[in-house]
Structure 1
Amino acid sequence: MLLIGRDLSPFVRRTAIVMATVNVPFERQVLAAIEDGAQLAPHTPLGRVPVLILEDGETLIDSAAIIDHILEVGDPTQALLPATGYDRRRVLYLCAIATGAMEKGVASSYERFRRPRELIHGPWLDRLFDQARGGLAALEAALGERDWLHGDAMTLADIYAVVLYDFMQIIDLPRLAETAHVALPALSARLNALPAFQDHRFIPASA
């Protein structure tokens, strides 16, 4: 399998981490959605990352769809998503919060760093900040003093939450410090010590 995209994208990074966690072997092609749009075009009509090319040549797009497939074919002993019932709904709920906050973080980053300063719409940027911060605060509250966001082992929700938290540090999201985070930094430190996380770290574009 070939995973296309770079780990500066939280959507690419979470996909790579899930694949590594459930022991699905893959190769990488590091492309950025904007800078490498021409190279991406043959693989996805949307010009977005990640893209996963399967061994038979089939192409999957969107991190949620890719991860759904990876959980189907990956190591069944690594149960990152409960099969049924409340446990499954709860993990997916927490994943949805993290995903929404990621989207707002990415949007705020584009607004701040790619739009000419004189064209930035302050109220819209404030709204993006508030939504991203709200997602972080909700995950912080859900984690509390527990080891994991739900249950007694790592799930997709923990992976998503850590990828989100790390991404917010990388883009230096304003107002992040206004919400006191204790649980999320601790979870981030624990999970980033794991090989699956270490092997797929955020690398700033300037690095």
Structure 2
Amino acid sequence: MMKLIGMLDSPYVRRTAISLQAMGISFEHQPLSVFNDFAAFQSINAVVKAPTFVFESGELLMDSSIILQYAESAVPASRRLMPATGEEFRLALQIIGFALAACEKAVQIVYEKNLRPAEKQHQPWIDRVSLQLKAACENLEQKLVASEFELHPSVLNQPFITSAVVWQFIQHMLPDVISVVDFPRLATMSTYAETLPEFLAFPPLGPGVVAPNS
């Protein structure tokens, strides 16, 4: 069976796991940490990048977007999470782009605060990245409003999954940086998402340090 390697406290791993489940792709999740299980992870993928997707042949794919691009090609059109073409496809890419930008900046802040000693943290850099994170969240919220994006979709789609996973991560790790009251649509989307079977099957795991991969 194919395997997905990585911890669910990484929003990149979690978005991949939920998406694969939603597309009906069978896989085994192997929760290895790029920190605590470095040697075991390295034995699977020398690059030690999460998420890593392992085919039955032993071949690897890395990066959540690349893994999901493959997955989209491997299932019938009825099970895909991305629109094929046109305005809906462009909107999906815009939403995902803002969500992943927010994710990247959030992870950078978490790394700076959790891994770097306090006396070595560079506050001007943290302030700049925090501004970028806020801008990404603001643009994402505005895009959801302008497009009248469905916050309770009857069928899961990739913009919904990625946005909800990223928002849950931000609120779990950085509630003091991004206030939930300023982003009602993201909050509504995330609250609903966390009740769904696909999300419940892959819950985020505690306040651990995540891998800065995409």
> Which residue identity is paired with 1:20?
Q
Q: Which residue number in structure 2 is paired with residue 166 of structure 1?
A: 168
Identity over aligned pairs, percent: 30
Map 1:50-69 → 2, pairs under 5 A: 50-69=51-70
Q: Which residue number in structure 1 is paired with residue 82 of structure 2?
A: 81
Map 1:100-179 → 2, pairs under 5 A: 100-144=101-145, 146-148=148-150, 154-177=156-179
**SS state at 1:7 partner:** coil
> Which residue identity is paired with 1:19?
L
Task: Report whether the alignment pairs 1:204 with 2:206.
Answer: yes
Q: How much has 1:174 moved relative to structure 2? A: 2.8
**SS state at 2:4 partner:** strand
Residue deviations 1:71-101 (CA, integer Å, cap 9, x gap): 1113532331111223212211211111111
CA contact (8 A) 2:22 2:198 kept: yes
Residue deviations 1:171-205 (CA, integer Å, cap 9, x gap): 13432118611111111122221111111111114
Residue deviations 1:45-88 (CA, integer Å, cap 9, x gap): 43220001112221111111111111111353233111122321
Residue deviations 1:125-176 (CA, integer Å, cap 9, x gap): 1111111121111111122283527x99642111111011000111134321
Task: Report whether the alignment pairs 1:186 with 2:204.
Answer: no
Q: Which residue number in structure 1 is paired with residue 211 of structure 2?
A: none
CA distance in 1, matches of 2:50, 2:3: 12
Larger RCO, structure (CA 8 Å, separation 6 or more) = 2
Alignment partner for residue 195 of structure 1, among 197, 201, 212?
Answer: 197
Residue deviations 1:11-62 (CA, integer Å, cap 9, x gap): 0000001001011111111111222222222333432200011122211111
C-alpha RMSD of the superposition: 2.1
User: What TM-score, normalized to structure 1?
Assistant: 0.91
CA contact (8 A) 2:50 2:62 kept: yes
Q: Which residue number in structure 2 is paired with residue 11 of structure 1?
A: 12
Q: CA 1:178 to 1:195, structure 2 compared with 1: closer, same or farther past 3 Å?
A: closer
